[in-house]
Amino acid sequence: MAKILLVDDDVEFADKLSRHLKTQGHIVDVANSGSDALQLCKTLTFELLILDWQMPELTGLQVCQKLRGMGKLYPIIFLTGLDDVTYKESGLDSGADDYMVKPVDLRELAARIRSVLRRPQNIKRSDLTAGQLGLDCTLQVISFGTKNLKITHREVALLEFLIRHPNQLFTSRELRDSVWPADGNASDEAVRTCIKTLRQKIKSIDCPELIKTVAGGGYTLEVE
């Protein structure tokens, strides 16, 4: 049994799914907008969120990002009609634990719920370090000493890639192919701009410069 927040602007669907989840022994609250969901999450404690993507005011993706930014680490399952792999990638990269496409098989949903609830909830799943620089991929935060700063999704992806491949040299094209979506229109200038802003943010928390430019070669993250 778990305390679940179901977030979906389709009132009829939300009511039907809520009643089914209750038959499984779960305690279920329902929000029909992203703003209502955030307000409930500020005042109540949940063990799991089931989240639609396409909603007025705030999308499910924005809700997920805001909750992770608030430090909420409980599991989030996207349940949406958007079946393109780009949406799945964005949803999971934003901090969601699972992604299911409507119409959903209720037995499979029950199994997915059991699966995410078995995972430890008090452990940050994506903590990385480069020297004394910390990166929390889930919350999208960099830290150095007592200082920390929120960075963008793309900056997280770029820094995570470099941290996982320390002291290796990558051209702009290699970074673009490794970090940007394959169907995107990123350019070498986009890579340079992202590197520049990431350096500025790292510098703003007083961390020594780690990302180096090699003339005629590309970029590397230097770690002893």
pLDDT cut 90: percent of the chain above it: 46
What whole-number distance in Å separates Cα of residue 144 and Cα of residue 160?
16
Residue recorded with tokens 């809520």 = 18
Q: What is the pLDDT of residue 1?
A: 65
- Domain 3-117 is of which CATH architecture? 3-Layer(aba) Sandwich (3.40)
Identity of residue 36: D
| Domain spans of the chain, in order of start | 3-117, 127-221
Q: What is the pLDDT of residue 91?
A: 85
CATH of 127-221, one of 3.60.110.10, 3.90.550.10, 3.40.50.80, 1.10.10.10: 1.10.10.10
Identity of residue 70: M
What are the pLDDT digits (tens) for 62-90? Answer: 999 888 888 788 899 999 888 888 888 88
**Which residues, given as ranges, of the chain have pLDDT below 50?**
122-125, 182-183
Q: What is the pLDDT of residue 122?
A: 43
Q: What is the pLDDT of residue 27?
A: 83
What are the pLDDT digits (tens) for 177-190? Answer: 777 754 456 788 88
